[in-house]
Amino acid sequence: MLSVLIACHDCDLLQYKIALAPGSSARCVRCSATLYRRPRHRIDYPIAWAITAVALFIIANAFPVLSLQIQGRETSTTLLGAALTMQDQGMPLVAALVLGTTVIAPALGLVAMLYVLIPLRFGRLMPGFVALTRLLQTIAPWAMIEVFVLGLLVSLVKLQHLATVIPGIGLWAFIALMLTSVAATATYDPHLIWQHIADLDTADDIV
């Protein structure tokens, strides 16, 4: 039995944590609520989702999000191109907000997640492990790819009355990126990460 107490999220009863077998879960002795789980592959899932999200992130920012055809003329742009256009049109704050929430924050989150998890998967802790785990929790609310994708879809509907709108590869990549980012965040559980460290008996090596 581990000398660690955990409070039930539903009834606040303090209980001792116990070592679980892979694929099992612990429930509260009072209300039967799930206290914590130990998935069979708790590190592999977020790594796989994060790697997929990184590939989609590169595609989404490298290819045009959409193209507009007006009177025989076609114009297309990427997300970075749209932000630069906002900057040139005297909207630097909007451009910075777009870049920060759809490019910088998601990129930092994915890179930090992979930096933490991939070495841990092979039994190593990289320098700055604790700082990066805190960074992941700090920047998570600022990654707003979902809001950007919803805004794009609304814009597509409204622009159809003015021009011919052709969704680009970047748009489809952003939609897939939204789903994979949510999956990576959902499968990344700090409690399971620390439990994995305890299993490896490497907690003393944290920098």
Confidence of residue 24 (pLDDT cuts 50, 70, 90): confident
Q: What is the mean pLDDT of residues 29-42?
A: 79
Res. 16: pLDDT tops 70: yes
Residue 27 main-chain phi, psi, to 5 deg: -120, 155
Are 55 and 35 within 8 A, CB to CB?
no
Please give the share of the chain, as a percent, with pLDDT higher than 70.
85
Are 17 and 38 within 8 A, CB to CB?
no
Please name which of 173, 193, 202, 201 lies closest in space to residue 115, comparing C-alpha atoms: 193
Q: Where are the alpha helices (DSSP H) in the chain?
A: 44-62, 79-88, 92-99, 105-121, 129-139, 145-159, 169-187, 190-200
Model confidence pLDDT, tens digit, residues 114-123: 998 888 888 7
Domain boundaries along the sequence of the chain: 1-38, 41-205
Dihedral angle over CA of 86, 175, 56, 110, nearest 10: 80
Q: What is the mean pLDDT of residues 18-31?
A: 82
Q: Which residue has the tokens 């460290």?
A: 197
Model confidence pLDDT, tens digit, residues 52-70: 999 999 998 888 887 777 7
Residue 39 is predicted with a pLDDT of 65
Residue 206 is predicted with a pLDDT of 44
Give the count of beta carbons closer than 10 Å to the beta carbon of residue 113: 24
Q: What is the mean pLDDT of residues 129-155?
A: 77
Whole-model pTM? 0.69
Please give the share of the chain, as a percent, with pLDDT higher than 90.
10
Res. 204: pLDDT tops 50: no
Residue 202 is predicted with a pLDDT of 39
Confidence of residue 167 (pLDDT cuts 50, 70, 90): confident
